[in-house]
Amino acid sequence: MSKKKMRPHKSKINNRSFVVNYILSATAATVSETVTYPLDLTKTRLQIQGEKLTGSYTLRSTKHGMIDIAHGIVRDEGILKLWQGVTPAIYRHVVYTGCRMAFYEWIRENVLGRNLDGHFSIWKAVIAGMAAGGFAQFMASPADLIKVRMQMDGKRVLEGKQPRVKGTAHAFRSILKESGVRGLWRGWAPNVQRAALVNLGDLTTYDTAKHAILDNTSMKDNHLTHAIASACSGFLSAVLSTPADVVKTRIMNQPTKDGRGLLYRSSIDCLLKTVHQEGFWALYKGFLPIWARMAPWSFTFWITYEQIRLWSGVASF
């Protein structure tokens, strides 16, 4: 990637309000999440495979790939089950993506600021991306927990177990009853770590790649430039975030008693147990569906977001 620092396209710096940026990004995220959600459900089911369960929890040794899992969901549960949990997922992105995008631009323009020549340094983009992503994910963590619970319920039914939740509202109430308000943030640490890495790969890479292309080629600020930049951001996001995503999923999905997890004490404990019991590459379970999802998600989001900004009269990202 070019060593040149980023500059705002055509020297236009977005001065619209935080609220406007929030609404535009949340709208684009809703479109992207709905289109690519089946890949997220498949990824979650894949990551749970191979867990060494204890006590009365049975270990199932049968393992399947991404395509087999998706086919099995459609065959055994129905095609609409590919969107099981999409409601809290959309709620999550309204909070998460709205916050991360709006905060990133606010930090970029008002806290760290551009250099005197109008460029935005890459190291500043790294700090802004990780800070915005981590904070946004902390705010959205309860919706993420509910989404994971709902995603796994179809599998529980097929295994002859009672479903834990009957819908978004029921999942919210059951978690509150079981673990209190604090329980809504179970798994927040690996969640925030993952989000910081995702946004290092997504926001920072997209911002850097896009402006490097505009600075060093004759390409215009159009769909092709956005597509290339989003491809770079999607791949790097998947590489950086998959291990934290595996840990987050396992902590959120583990059975609990008196508000405490029965399998893992912390994210570090989950990480160490996963590597010890299943090997290092277990941390990359679900990489293909994560990447397969991040690529179209990133593409759909950035194309939609840039277009919405254009329609709204807001400067290009």
* 66 within some domain: yes
Q: What is the pLDDT of residue 132?
A: 92
Domain that holds residue 259: 9-312
Each residue's pLDDT tens digit, 217-247: 899 988 899 999 998 888 888 888 888 888 8
Question: Looking at per-residue confidence, does 158 or 38 come out higher?
Answer: 38
For residue 240, tell me if it sits in a domain: yes
Euclidean distance between CA atoms 88 and 97, whole angstroms = 13
The yes-or-no verdict on residue 12 having pLDDT over 70 is: no
pLDDT at 117: 64
What is the pLDDT at residue 136?
92
CATH number of the domain within which 84 lies: 1.50.40.10
**Is 1 inside a domain boundary?**
no
In a domain, 2, yes or no: no
Q: Please give the pLDDT value at position 314.
A: 84
Residues contacting 123, CB < 8 A, separation 6+: none
Structural domain contains residue 4: no
pLDDT, tens digit, 9 for 90 and up, residues 253-287: 787 777 677 788 888 888 899 899 889 988 888 78
Instruction: Give the separation between CA 214 and CA 208, rounded to whole angstroms.
Output: 10
**pLDDT computed for residue 52 by the predictor:** 57
Assign 62 a pLDDT band (cuts: 50, 70, 90): low
pLDDT at 45: 77
In a domain, 3, yes or no: no
User: pLDDT tens-digit profile of 104-160?
Assistant: 988 888 888 777 666 678 888 889 999 999 999 999 888 888 877 776 776 666 666
Q: Dihedral through CA 304, CA 210, CA 127, CA 282, nearest 10?
A: 70
pLDDT computed for residue 30 by the predictor: 93
Position 2 pLDDT exceeds 70: no
pLDDT at 27 over 90: yes
Q: How confident is the model at residue 63 (pLDDT cuts 50, 70, 90)?
A: low
Query: Which residue is listed with tokens 């990202």?
Result: 317
Identify the residue whose tokens are 């404990």.
Answer: 269
Q: Map the chain to HEC letters.
A: CCCCCECCHHHCCCCCCHHHHHHHHHHHHHHHHHHHHHHHHHHHHHHHCCCCCCCCCCCCCCCCCHHHHHHHHHHHHCHHHHHCCHHHHHHHHHHHHHHHHHHHHHHHHHHCCCCCCCCECHHHHHHHHHHHHHHHHHHHHHHHHHHHHHHHHHHHHHCCCCCCCCCHHHHHHHHHHHHHHHHCCCCHHHHHHHHHHHHHHHHHHHHHHHHHHHHHCCCCCCHHHHHHHHHHHHHHHHHHHHHHHHHHHHHHHCCEECCEECCCCCHHHHHHHHHHHHCHHHHHCCHHHHHHHHHHHHHHHHHHHHHHHHHHCCCCC
Domain count, the chain: 1
Q: Is residue 189 part of a domain?
A: yes
What contacts 17, CB < 8 A, 6 or more positions away? Answer: none
In a domain, 171, yes or no: yes
Mean pLDDT of the chain: 80
Best CA proximity match to 154, nearest among 103, 80, 254, 221? 80
